[in-house]
């Protein structure tokens, strides 16, 4: 079995059924490419609108804040919305998808760099995504406690929203750093495993 | 318009080769079809950037294998799907011819399964070699030196032979 001619014969005789017609495939390819572009545009738009909404809401809350501490916290959350979008647009897109028509070795290296970049980005989520609004919310809550105490009301009800946003932020942290990074690391390991034998055999035309 | 015409010309010329290539990465029919569509979409996106410095064939194979390897890395259920055999094909001929066709089809399945079992680089080299690309063309696609490709091909043939024998022995039990 399996001399060169027989392998070729078996390979070329593959019975896969007739290929999809050119015009139909063109339509599908264009739809896929457009869907991809639309997804990217929709994601960017969502991020910007979300940031604008957070900024607008917390700027309004800051305006109505009872004291300077609460106002500082709310303004910090408002600024965080803009900061996060700036950070994502500036650093999040730093490692674009590798060009599909690069040599396989170059493509693999570019893909690895992309994985590394995404892993670094998700691992630092706590600093650039979670910390600024969280600190802002804590300050805002502290300001509310101060305001309530000054009016002779108990401050402990503020612990409830604090517990809720702490849990939400904790979940986002876990989602990014445990689940997200773990998934990317597994994919990266699979890529390395698949491509390992190519090391040290690169040619000059890549 | 020119882009559409170029796409149609390239796709129609290489569609059977792309289907075979997809068979080296995915066992299930729907996965193969999905992969061919994904490659077609990548081809459509890459067309405006194509410069005639590289041959069209090596350029297309780069795109196809890069898309396929990306899909393979992301496809978690590949191993699971691998064990689900496809239903036997209906072969219209009868008698001894039909038996021979069935045997050839069985061998073909073993060959594709054995190729899918290879490491990605070996799989890529095998596919390119079976598609008739020269050592220099394989180097242009993979970035692996021509000499290393030749050495590797000898080893791959042996691996395929062993894998097919093992499958034949497994089927005989």
Q: What are phi and psi of A21, to 5 degrees?
A: -65, 150
CA distance A53 to A72: 18
Q: Is A202 helix (H, G, I), strand (E, B) or coil?
A: strand
- Chunked in runs of 10, what are the mean pLDDT values of chain B (173 residues)? 88 91 89 92 90 84 90 64 48 62 80 87 91 90 88 88 77 55
pLDDT surpasses 50 at A6: yes
Chain B residue closest in CA terms to A37? B45
User: Hey, are the CB atoms on B74 and A187 less than 8 Å from each other?
Assistant: yes
Q: What is the DSSP string of A190-201?
A: HHHHHHGGGTT-
Domain that holds residue A61: 31-197
List chain B domain ranges.
1-86, 88-173
The H or E element that residue A167 is part of is helix A159-173
CB pairs under 8 A between A and B: 179
CA distance A80 to A165: 15
- Prediction pTM value: 0.74
Closest-CA distance of chain B to residue A37, Å: 10
What's the domain count of chain A?
Answer: 1
Which DSSP state fits B54? Answer: S
User: Hey, are the CB atoms on B66 and A100 less than 8 Å from each other?
Assistant: yes
Whether B153 contacts chain A with CB within 8 A: no
- Considering the four listed CATH numbers 1.20.120.550, 2.40.50.140, 3.40.50.2000, 1.10.10.10, the one that applies to the domain covering B88-173 is 1.10.10.10
Q: Mean per-residue pLDDT for A129-157?
A: 91
Whether B75 contacts chain A with CB within 8 A: no
C-alpha pair distances (Å), A122 with each of A7, A61, A176, B70: 46, 30, 6, 20
pLDDT surpasses 80 at A173: yes
Report the top-level CATH class of B1-86.
mainly alpha
**A99 lies in some domain:** yes
């Amino acid at each position: 079995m399996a001399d060169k001619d027989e392998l070729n014969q078996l390979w070329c005789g593959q019975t896969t059924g007739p290929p999809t017609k050119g015009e139909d495939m063109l339509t599908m390819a264009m739809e896929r490419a457009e869907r991809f572009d639309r997804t990217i545009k929709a994601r960017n738009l969502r991020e910007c609108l979300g940031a604008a909404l957070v900024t607008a809401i917390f700027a309004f809350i800051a305006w109505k804040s009872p004291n300077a501490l609460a106002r500082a916290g709310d303004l910090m959350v408002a600024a965080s919305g803009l900061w996060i979008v700036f950070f994502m647009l500036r650093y999040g897109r730093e490692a674009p998808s590798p060009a599909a028509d690069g040599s396989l070795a170059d493509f693999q290296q570019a893909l690895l760099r992309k994985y590394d970049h995404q892993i670094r980005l998700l691992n630092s989520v706590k600093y650039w995504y979670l910390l600024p609004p969280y600190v802002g919310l804590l300050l805002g809550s502290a300001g509310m406690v101060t305001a309530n105490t000054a009016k002779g009301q108990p401050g402990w009800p503020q612990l409830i929203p604090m517990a809720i946003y702490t849990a939400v932020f904790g979940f986002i942290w876990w989602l990014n750093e445990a689940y997200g990074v773990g998934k990317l690391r597994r994919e990266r390991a699979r890529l390395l495993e698949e491509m390992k034998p190519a090391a040290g055999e690169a040619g000059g035309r890549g | 318009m020119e882009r559409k015409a170029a796409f149609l010309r390239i796709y129609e010329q290489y569609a059977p080769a792309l289907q075979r290539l997809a068979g080296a990465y995915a066992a299930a029919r729907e996965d193969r079809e999905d992969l061919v569509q994904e490659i077609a979409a990548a081809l459509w996106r890459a067309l405006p950037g194509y410069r005639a410095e590289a041959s069209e064939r090596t350029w297309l194979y780069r795109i196809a294998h890069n898309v396929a390897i990306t899909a393979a890395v992301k496809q978690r259920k590949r191993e699971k799907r691998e064990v689900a055999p496809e239903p036997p094909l209906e072969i219209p001929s009868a008698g001894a011819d039909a038996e021979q066709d069935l045997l050839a089809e069985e061998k073909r399945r073993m060959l594709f399964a054995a190729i899918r079992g290879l490491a990605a680089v070996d799989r890529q080299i095998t596919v390119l070699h079976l598609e008739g690309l020269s050592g220099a063309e394989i180097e242009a696609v993979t970035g692996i030196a021509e000499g290393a490709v030749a050495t590797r091909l000898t080893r791959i043939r042996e691996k395929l032979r062993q894998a097919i024998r093992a499958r034949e022995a497994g089927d005989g039990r």
